[in-house]
Amino acid sequence: VKANKTEIAIIQTDEVVKPQTTLFRLHNSVPTDYDNVTIIEFELGEEANVLLTVINSKGEILETLVNELMDSGVYKVNFKSREKIVTGEFTYKLEVKSISGVKNMFAVK
């Protein structure tokens, strides 16, 4: 049995917050002590199609973490990659209604 190379968990929290914009807010990633998992948090001000990707320094998409219609609210994506991500700095990009936000994260394999 071949194991899934990427583990992703998306959690909608019960927090009630108002994003700084009416569309979305992207937070800084938070590394965890648990097996190199990184948490990416974002807020949606309204229901929208969401695309969340991890991109290398060459602009290549390494992972698509979210690509779906989502309700408004606060979300946390637990991201762990075993194959495509090596140690280094990467960018994660959130696209909502043709508007994007980008942040950097540091990955350790």
Write down the pLDDT at residue 81.
67
Instruction: Provide the whole-model pTM.
Output: 0.75
As a whole number, mean pLDDT of residues 50-54 equals 95
Write down the pLDDT at residue 74.
93
How far is the C-alpha of 23 from the C-alpha of 48, rounded, in Å? 9
CA distances from 61 to 34, 51, 89 (A): 25, 12, 14
Contact 85/29 with Cβ under 8 angstroms?
A: no
How far is the C-alpha of 64 from the C-alpha of 66, rounded, in Å? 6
